[in-house]
Amino acid sequence: MSSPSETETPERGISRRPVEIATALLLIGLAGIVLYDSHGRGAGWDGGPQNGFFPARVGWIFLAASLFILWQSFRRPDGVFVTYEQLRQVVRVLGPLVLFVALIQPLGIYVASAVFIVAFMGVVGTSRWWSIGLTALLVPVVCFWVFELQFRVPLPKGPLEAMLGY
Amino acid sequence: MDDLSSLIAGFQVALSWHNIGFMAVGVILGIIVGVLPGLGGPNGVAILLPLTFGMDPTSAIILLSSIYWGALFGGAITSILFNIPGEAWSVATTFDGYPMAVQGKAAEALTAAFTASFIGALSGVVLITFVAPLVAQFALKFGPAEFFAVFLLTFCSFIGMGRENRAKIIASLCIGFLLAAVGLDSISGDLRMTFGSTELMRGFDFLIVVIGLFGVSEILLTVEEGLVFKGKQAKIDLKVVLRTWAGLPRYWATLVRSAIVGMWMGVTPGGAIAASFMGYGLAKRFSKRGKNFGKGEIEGVLAPETAAHAAGTSALLPMLALGIPGSATAAVLLGGLLVWGLQPGPMLFVEQKEFVWGLIASMYLGNLAGLIIVLATVPLFAAIMRIPFSFVAPVILIVCAIGAYTISNSIFDIWLMLIFGVVGYVFKKLDYPLAPMILALVLGDRAEDAFRQALLGSGGSLGVFWANGLVTTLVVLALLLLCWGPASDAIAALRGRGRSEAEPAEAAR
């Protein structure tokens, strides 16, 4: 909200071709791993198709498609993959999200959610502190009520919940 | 009529208070899911799926399919009021829907869209009611080779009919197949592609992949465009609804045409998007007011909505009768059936009669309930879009994480969801289609089983795939579909611009 995308003029950013090429190379690598693994375990015929039989065949098609994509990526006109402004927005979501997932193990999902909300809304920086606080408190409590008490789905809990006797 | 009495029995199952309640809850949840960015039909169903494991399968599938109907309706709200297509197949709805909203005719546009959706969905359900049992009966004769041929037909039609770069569709399909192969091999009992990791032994659950690809990545794409939505106001009252309905019979030709196009394209997988554009294009060509299309013509809302929903609903036909879903959401529903121990496919109509007909009856009722609910609650859902995104986004992401965790109580799965979210973001920006990946992931094991069993039966000879008339027809049809796309591109390129501009055909490949 701090930076609505109103500027339609061409912005600087990461161009599309390197990303396209990197993705294609990654896919080729994946195909290589699949083929290595499948042929390693046996992709032939041993009284019936061996367990690498099907993945190996898919792997070859995959390899061909990826190579074709790589070849295509050199021929296509280049464009902008993501502008730096857009990338900044994405990182502002992705950063807190990674933090959130990392905190689930030690703190439990409820406390981690609260931290995530504070971090996210703080980074975006458009809300007043009390609305951030209220959201950070209410959302985990509602989630707790819905999942733990109503549906009886056990979610990862941490020290705080243990202290409260759950 | 045996089927008709089964259907009436089905209505008795679906009409219990209990199930009607689930229907209403499902439709409302579905509309929310359809309206909010980052939550679409497949993703909403995927997140709620684990919560329904404890429920009776019939009620659970009624709840989940109602979410599907709700999401279909919800997509129209954002297309018309906010010019943001909720799903790929509501893109064509924005062409005339948003101009109508700009002219202050949002209520008419919404009523038209919802009614058209209802008509489209209804024609799809009628198709399912009468054709699915026949297809299922026919499919009882299928052996592994025939089944593999049907799978082949599905995947080939994805490649042939897809609007994206074909190499990328193939790559996406292959990734789905390979992800499905990771973990325990169901025939030999060996571990495949786990590279010693215990976490990978369980394989990739398609629900995690769906939540990552459709949920997290969608949020990332949405924030790119800033965090504000600007929309038009809308309030629907009964007078507008009745007036719009009174005008509809004039457009019966458009409605019928779109419904037929939709039903045809829906049974062929991946068709809903193509169907909506085809419905729009045909209406534009045949309408007397075709020149006004794109400037807020009500027919331009009716045509794509009818076609898209006829297609979206018909996509459930191959899922029920053959066990092969026609859309990403249908694929998730199919995964749900498997989780409940129901094997979709021809045997379902024999062994689980009550379940199948209860589901089909619920499709009639769910769509009717959806139409009523959505007409009554548009202002409410338009208001949801006005909640600042900085509140909504973290809540959606938390719900996604919870959904990913509850599938098998594993925190590793939440990381996987995150990774697939980033993958989905990059893939969407590079125009890799995601639906084929999900479809291949869900069907991968079954396609592989069919393939291996067919080959086992024939002693390794590929000749089994043209051993009899039926399987040959299916394989030939699959190959025709596979070649359809490139061939029509080539013809268009030759006819349109001669040889000088080979580039567009190149790009379309």
Q: Which chain B residues are within 8 Å of A120, Cβ to Cβ?
A: 390, 393-394
Query: Smallest Cβ distance to B391: which of A49, A72, A135?
Result: A135
Q: Are B432 and B164 in contact (CB under 8 A)?
A: yes
Least confident range from B22-36, B125-139, B282-296: namely B282-296
Category of B196 on φ-ψ map: left (φ > 0), alpha (ψ -120 to 50) or beta = left
> Which has the higher per-residue pLDDT, B462 or A70?
A70
Q: Which chain B residues are within 8 Å of A30, Cβ to Cβ?
A: 175, 178
Contact B188 A50 (CB under 8 A): yes
Contact B168 A69 (CB under 8 A): yes
Category of B291 on φ-ψ map: left (φ > 0), alpha (ψ -120 to 50) or beta = alpha
| Position B491, amino acid | I
Minimal Cα distance from A69: which residue of B?
A: B167
Minimal Cα distance from B187: which residue of A?
A: A51
Dmax (CA) of chain B = 69
Residue B507 has pLDDT above 50, yes or no: no
Residue B418 has pLDDT above 70, yes or no: yes
ipTM for this prediction: 0.88
User: How many beta carbons lie within 10 A of that of residue B140, not counting itself?
Assistant: 11
Query: How far, rounded to the nearest angstrom, does the alpha carbon of residue B312 sit from its chain's CA centroid?
Result: 6
Closest CA to B173 of B442, B429, B416: B442
- Collapsing DSSP states into helix, strand and coil, what is residue B192? strand
| Position B180, amino acid | A
3-state secondary structure B418-473: HHHHHHHHHHHHCCCCCHHHHHHHHHHHHHHHHHHHHHHHHCCCHHHHHCCHHHHH
| DSSP code, position A157 | B
Residue A127 touches chain B, beta carbons under 8 Å: yes
Query: Smallest Cβ distance to B178: which of A58, A86, A126?
Result: A58
- Give the range with max mean pLDDT: A162-166, B382-386, B421-425, B433-437: B421-425
> Which has the higher per-residue pLDDT, A65 or B198?
A65
Residue A59 touches chain B, beta carbons under 8 Å: yes
Q: Which chain A residues are within 8 Å of B507, Cβ to Cβ?
A: 76
Q: Are B336 and B49 in contact (CB under 8 A)?
A: yes
Tokens 């139409």 — which residue?
B371
Least confident range from A5-9, B2-6, B100-104, B455-459: namely A5-9
Residue A104 has pLDDT above 70, yes or no: yes
Closest CA to B14 of B56, B74, B50: B56
pLDDT band at B419 (very low <50, low <70, confident <90, very high): very high
Helix, strand, coil fractions of chain B, as percent rounded to 5? 80, 0, 20
Tell me, what's the pLDDT at B229? 59
> Which has the higher per-residue pLDDT, B199 or B132?
B132
Mind listing the pLDDT tens digit for each residue in A16-30? 888 999 999 999 999
What is the percent of chain B with per-residue pLDDT over 90, rounded to a whole number? 4
Minimal Cα distance from A121: which residue of B?
A: B390
Minimal Cα distance from B460: which residue of A?
A: A48
Q: Which chain A residues are within 8 Å of B188, Cβ to Cβ?
A: 50-51
pTM listed for this prediction: 0.81
Q: Which two tokens stand for residue B188?
A: 């030999």
Query: Smallest Cβ distance to A98: which of B51, B418, B507?
Result: B418
Dmax (CA) of chain A = 70
User: B-contacting residues of A 145-164, CB under 8 Å?
Assistant: 147, 151, 153-156
Mind listing the pLDDT tens digit for each residue in B72-109? 788 788 778 877 766 667 778 888 888 888 887 888 88
Tell me, what's the pLDDT at B50? 77
> Which has the higher per-residue pLDDT, B197 or B226?
B197
| Position B26, amino acid | G
Q: Which chain B residues are within 8 Å of A101, Cβ to Cβ?
A: 401, 411, 414-415, 418
* All residues at 6 or more sequence positions from B426 whose CB lies less than 8 Å from its CB, including other chains: A19, A23
Least confident range from B120-134, B328-342, B366-380: namely B328-342
**DSSP line for B39-106:** --HHHHHHHHGGGGTTS-HHHHHHHHHHHHHHHHHHHHHHHHHHS--SSGGGHHHHHHHHHHHHTT-H
Tell me, what's the pLDDT at A10? 58
The C-alpha of B217 sits at a distance from chain A's nearest C-alpha, in angstroms, of 10
Tell me, what's the pLDDT at B277? 79
Q: Which chain A residues are within 8 Å of B165, Cβ to Cβ?
A: 69, 72
Minimal Cα distance from A46: which residue of B?
A: B460
End-to-end CA distance of chain A: 38
Query: Smallest Cβ distance to B226: which of A3, A62, A109?
Result: A3
Which uninterrupted H or E stretch holds A81?
strand A80-83
Q: Which chain A residues are within 8 Å of B193, Cβ to Cβ?
A: 33-34, 37-38, 55
The C-alpha of A99 sits at a distance from chain B's nearest C-alpha, in angstroms, of 11
> Which has the higher per-residue pLDDT, B58 or A101?
A101
Closest CA to B10 of B53, B70, B52, B62: B62
The C-alpha of A17 sits at a distance from chain B's nearest C-alpha, in angstroms, of 10
A40: burial class by Cβ within 10 Å (0-12, 13-18, 19+)?
exposed
The C-alpha of A162 sits at a distance from chain B's nearest C-alpha, in angstroms, of 18
